[in-house]
Amino acid sequence: MTNKTASTLQGRNFLTIAEFTEEELKSFLHTAVALKSMQKQGITHHFLEGQTLAMIFEKASTRTRVAFEVGMYQLGGSALYLSSKDIQIGRGETIADTAKVLSRFVDGIMIRTFGHEVVEELAANADVPVINGLTNTHHPTQVLADLLTIFEHKGSLAGLKACFVGDGYNNMAHSLLEGAAAVGMNMTVASPKGYEPDQAVFNAAKARGAENNCAVALTHSPQEAVEDCDVVITDTWLSMGDEDEKEQRLHDFQGFQVDDALTALAKPDHIFMHCLPAHRGEEVTESVIDGVHSVVFDEAENRLHAHKAILKCLMEKNA
């Protein structure tokens, strides 16, 4: 499982998808496939024996916490759950000081927080790899799991046509744009007016996509985005922190629900994805999320295998 590309990942941070080359992303994916096979066969794979991951949660989580905690256990290490109430960062200690202190105790830090600048400051001051478990603007660990899921179901990534329907100014939309552009997958985001992706993220993804012979596009028509798609993706219209905007958002997103009529426009063998948790009856109907095209639970399981790949590639000694 070691190769020249994997060795370049050792000791790195994992803050956004955009910071990695296509070859490096494929190295993560190949590692995830190998680790998943080992786990399914019951083969011990303690590549991180004796190592510890600090997990800082300022945002609640199901899949992120379980995937990283179980992942470290299966890799032979251990994980510490640290909420903002458990550590001094919640009582005014600077992010820089927290990074320097934790670096003396642990071998890696995963953080799930609000502002992306928090992750960047943590990484700038830590002496161990820092992994972005989610910020308001990026969700790279989820998108690596998504790429793994698409690869498993479609056999390739380059040249596929994918779309994201919903809130374009969303961490999933941003990281999907970056991931698709990096691996040569066409990606269209369909969002209501006023909910378009961050312009800098979109422009960078579009430029990288052009280099990799794939199209990155934006539309306000869900039908245009979904037509002839291999992969249809959505996410909640109400991210954490948006709850006070619920009524306005439910109004603004009318017509953007992923339902049977919309997915009928996709390819007959398309797959449907959602990072969960889902608000059934809002962004997606039950008939779609529970339908034959849905791979949402494969996608959820792949959080474990993708996260283990990140941990191994970044934290393994002498890889």
Show binding-site residues for L-ornithine. 171, 235, 239-240
Phi, psi of 149 (to 5 degrees): -65, -45
Respond yes or no: is residue 142 known to be catalytic: yes
Q: Residues annotated as binding site for carbamoyl phosphate?
A: 61-64, 88, 112, 139-142, 275-276, 303
3-state secondary structure of 231: strand
Scanning the chain, the segments in alpha helix (DSSP H) are: 4-9, 22-41, 63-74, 95-105, 116-125, 140-154, 171-183, 199-211, 222-226, 246-252, 260-263, 286-289, 296-315
Which contiguous run of DSSP H or E holds residue 55? strand 52-57
Among 138, 270, 303, 305, which one carries the catalytic annotation? Answer: 303
Let me know if 249 is a catalytic residue: no
Is 104 an annotated catalytic residue?
Answer: no
Rounded distance, CA 319 to CA 313, Å?
8
Given 107, 146, 167, 235, the catalytic residue: 235
Look up residue 257 and give its two tokens.
């629900």
**Residue 74 catalytic?**
no
The one catalytic residue among 142, 257, 270, 307: 142
Contact 169, 235 (CB under 8 A): no
Whether 305 is catalytic: no
**Rounded CA separation 46/251 (Å):** 50
12, 45, 112, 307: which one is catalytic?
Answer: 112
- Tell me if residue 39 is catalytic: no
Enumerate the active-site residues: 112, 139, 142, 235, 275, 303
